[in-house]
A and B are shown apart, each in its own frame.
With several copies, the nearest count.
Chain A
Amino acid sequence: MVTLKDYGEYKTAWCPGCGNFPLLRALKLALVKKGLEPHQILIVSGIGQAAKTPHYLNANVFNGLHGRSLPVALGAKLANPNLIVIAESGDGCMYGEGGNHFLGAIRRNIDITVIVHNNQVYGLTKGQASPTSEEGFVTKAQPDGVFETPFNPLAIAVAMHAGFVARGFVGMEDHLVETIVQGIDHPGFSLIDILQPCVSFNRVNTFKWYRERCIPLPSSYDPYDWEKAMKVAVQWGKEIPIGVIYKNDRPSYEKHFSALKKGPLVRQKVDLSKLKKIMETYA
């Protein structure tokens, strides 16, 4: 039986009170709930406060470049589909620097779970606006407030018919754990955008602010209804719906490759006799 202990307990470099703490806990709880052992899991992250997460629990880890967790996760999953692959990073990393890979990963529908610590700010670099910062959000680098409309990851993911699209909030542990479990269970690309207060640089979207707004989707909600999902995905303001917003069952990317039908690449030897035949076609 896997327990929380198996996932370890580490000193972090996060600020006291940061929303990353409950997120880390929820992630561990979800893994325990799934009965997964640390070595079955690979967590790939980018760079940022959020991206430090995999250093704070037991798992296989690839902590790569800012913005590039998704392609690394995809490569690893294709090399060994037996791995449970989680890509984890911040809003800046996933939706800013990594925006193009976000689009690519959704289109492919590869079976990875993407956990985004969305604190609506660049935490590690000390408080510049992030893609999800709200219009008018004032920072040192945006003294006149943000001019751009915020990036709505859920609206884009639903518009692109992503496999699984959900929002969580670190202030609602059980709900978050359940959402992560469902994301891991979903056999395809799963996006979980998690509202995660940054107590140092985001004085607008605080625990309180989110708590007053986050409302779980009712159990009657049908995540397979695309049109409704699209409407839910753009809701933001007085009420922020959380839960699984959209879902479909298209086959995941790695299922398409003939090479993978024989098992993970990592176990396959090169068939040199076949190659010999191929070489002969060059004669």
Chain B
Amino acid sequence: MDNRCINILIGGEAGQGLQTIGFIFSKGLVRSGYSIHVHQTYESRVRGGHNTYSIRAGVQKVLAPQEEIDLLIALNEETIDRHKEDLSSKGFIIGNADLNRKEKNWIGVPFKTFGDEIYWNTAAIGVAGGLLGLDRRILNKVLGEVLGEEKALKNLSVLEAGYQWLASQSFKWDPLPFISNPSPRFLMNGHEAVALGAISSGLKFCAFYPMSPSTSIAQTLIDWSREMDVVVVQAEDEIAAINMAIGASYAGAPSMVPTSGGGFALMVEAVSLAAISETPVVIVIAQRPGPATGLATRTEQGELLFVLHAGHGEFPRAIFAPGSIEECFYLTRKAFELSEKYQGPMFILTDHFIADSYRDIEPIPVETLSSIRPGLDPNEIESPYLRYRITESGISPRLLPGLSKHLVVADSHEHTEDGHMTENLSIRPKMVDKRLRKGQGLRSEVIPPTFIGEPESEILFVCWGSSRGSVEEVATLLSSSGTKASMLHFSQVWPMIPEQFLHYLEEAKQVISVESNATGQIAHLIRRETGFLIKKRILRYDGLPITPQYIMRHLKER
């Protein structure tokens, strides 16, 4: 099988329509049967600055971003100056002919002849489509779907002009093999998958306060809220958002709050409320570099330990960290299920990188999936109804208020079984134990980390969340070039069950953790839970995602 990839970077200013054409081109590639992986970078501004949209495409599953650029589509001159160093030896640069660049693989396109400046981006992908040998009918169709018929009309002719101009030239490009009858795939980014996973599992309510990079989850829910009968409320602040979600969930609507580190910091008190009141709620923390405002539009994996310990008082929780689009979908579902079953806050850690990373996935057969139905049947409840009945599993009977004569009393104080506040100190440890017992149930349902590779390898890479793809690629690469390497990826970072993975760590010659943060958080956590010390750590904290190349560079360094 052909395992080549090509990496296309589109660069320009905010406001030049990068994301739109990047998306259209991505969709064109997927419809043509290629696997793709998108990585976007942008600044914290609405116009100007320098943004990029990178698409890596291949015949086999593309797992990770790539630093080397095979095709640089420059919507402005700055793009060329910034990225030409990264151009591969056979790489091309597509740009405005007027720039008159002297680079050897310069494709100067006479954009001016195609129309107004606002159409140049479309022209550029026409040229690129031609170069890559993409069926222009596919791009035409996608353009129409994405822009809407009216807007597409003018763009279609420009796209065509791009194709034709390219055809009139004689640039040599070794295209990806043509794929006939490609099977249909979805093109989805991480946050769309989270939102759709949530809806599929029964989400009925979302409250949010806008914050990059979490807003896209709420936005996706809003986009489908009318079709799917979901209520989405933009709250006055994050504290309101999570308290609304808790209120809605108490009353029976499965609820989620998407936010980022700074917004989550404001929710910490309510996390504790969800825990003691035993109210299900799913919280997504879309990570970005901190502390405080940090780098609002960049990526990091800095909140693992923060989220693990967030909330005053002690209570169990589960934390997921999806490493793929599929995991974004399915782990969100799992979070909802656990949240309902164990009646408390459950967490999903995404980040800027995976949030915006469009990838192709196998179509998800949603119609076969189950969705949760909150609460028990009130007819099966014995009187007196005790909201916080002490049980062996720690799980108490949850009813919804107003649906029966039973009164549902939920409380933030320590309480008796009937939900009323108490100062009886002999009840306290029983209730603490009851809540903590739910942790045992959570432990019994932990998704083990994914191990890829052979046991007893030279190098075992340990990673979590969004860095999975890059690590997997490196492990495969090393193995195929003679160094036995493997990967252990945590898509559920808490609870941690040593028996599920400790042997991998102990068997490997060298264990290296790979994380997008500066202190090595998963390594700390593994140490605490298993005693195993991971000495070598490859860390990245400049706001960019971990790439296969970054790992390779740091492997060599020492």
Contact = CB atoms under 8 A, between A and B. Distances in A.
Q: Does chain A touch chain B in the assembled complex, meaning CB atoms less than 8 Å apart? A: yes
B43 A13 contact: yes
Contacts of B411: 55, 61, 63
B237 A67 contact: yes
B196 to A, nearest CB: 7
Interface in A5-64: 13-16, 37-40, 42, 44, 47, 49, 52, 55, 58-64
Contact of B249 (A61, A79, A124): A79
Interface stretch (A187-195, A222-230, A242-250, A273-281): A273-281
Contacts of B196: 275, 278-279
Given A66-B262, A140-B219, A72 B246 contact: yes
A272 interface: yes
A15 B406 contact: no
B463 interface: no
Nearest to A55: B420
A53 to B, nearest CB: 12
B410 interface: yes
Contact of B240 (A78, A100, A201): A100
Interface string A169-204: 000000000000000000000000000000011000
B228 A271 contact: yes
Contacts of B188: 282
Contact of B366 (A40, A68, A272): A272
B270 to A, nearest CB: 7
Interface stretch (A158-166, A208-216, A255-263): A255-263
B201 to A, nearest CB: 8
B371 A269 contact: yes
Interface string A86-103: 000000000011011101
B175 interface: no
B409 interface: yes
Interface string B230-249: 11011111011101111111
A128 interface: yes
A72 B243 contact: yes
A266 B252 CA distance: 5
A153 interface: no
B225 A259 contact: yes
A73 B185 contact: no
Contacts of B403: 266
A104 interface: yes
Interface string B359-385: 000011011010101100000000000
B412 A64 contact: yes
Contacts, number: 270
Given A65-B292, A265-B205, A258 B402 contact: no
Given A64-B243, A122-B210, A273 B250 contact: no
B219 to A, nearest CB: 6
Contact of B231 (A78, A274, A279): A78
B104 interface: no
B273 A61 contact: no
A109 B184 CA distance: 47
Contact of B273 (A64, A75, A78, A282): A64
Given A259-B231, A266-B400, A274-B228, A75 B48 contact: no
Contact of B409 (A61, A99, A275): A61
Interface residues of B, number: 90
B408 interface: yes
B344 to A, nearest CB: 15
B44 interface: yes
Given A40-B402, A266-B252, A272 B47 contact: no
Contacts of A38: 407
Interface in B194-249: 196, 199-202, 204-205, 207, 209-212, 215, 218-219, 222, 224-231, 233-237, 239-241, 243-249
A10 to B, nearest CB: 8
A101 B401 CA distance: 23
Given A79-B252, A97-B236, A275-B199, A42 B224 contact: no
Contacts of B369: 272
B251 A65 contact: no
B405 interface: yes
B76 to A, nearest CB: 15
Interface in A100-133: 100-101, 103-104, 122-126, 128-129, 131
Contacts of B184: 283
Contacts of A64: 243, 246-247, 273, 277, 292, 412
Interface string B386-416: 0000000000000011111111111111000
A265 B44 contact: no
Contacts of B244: 71-72, 74-75, 78
A218 interface: no
Contacts of A275: 196, 199-200, 228, 366-367
Interface string B284-304: 000000001100000000000
Contacts of A74: 233, 244, 247
With a 10 A CB-CB cut-off, give which of B228, B229, B247, B402 has the most chain A CB atoms: B247
Contacts of B531: none
A75 B245 contact: yes
B48 A15 contact: yes
B243 A71 contact: yes
A71 B211 contact: no
A172 B270 CA distance: 37
A270 interface: yes
A203 to B, nearest CB: 14
A75 B234 contact: no
A72 B249 CA distance: 9
Given A59-B407, A266-B403, A124 B248 contact: no
A101 B421 CA distance: 25
B253 interface: yes
A61 B410 contact: yes
Contacts of A123: 46
Interface in B253-305: 253, 255, 262, 269-270, 273, 277, 292-293
A75 B412 contact: no
B45 A259 contact: no
Contacts of B209: 96-97
A3 interface: no
B187 interface: yes
A83 interface: yes
With a 10 A CB-CB cut-off, give which of A76, A100, A264, A282 has the most chain B CB atoms: A282
A80 B45 contact: no
8 contacts: A40-B402, A59-B407, A71-B247, A80-B252, A96-B237, A101-B239, A141-B210, A275-B196
Given A101-B240, A141-B222, A265-B204, 14 more contacts: A15-B48, A39-B402, A44-B247, A49-B46, A65-B292, A68-B243, A78-B231, A83-B251, A97-B237, A124-B46, A125-B211, A125-B215, A271-B228, A282-B192
Top-5 shortest CB links A-B: A75-B247, A266-B252, A60-B401, A72-B247, A75-B248
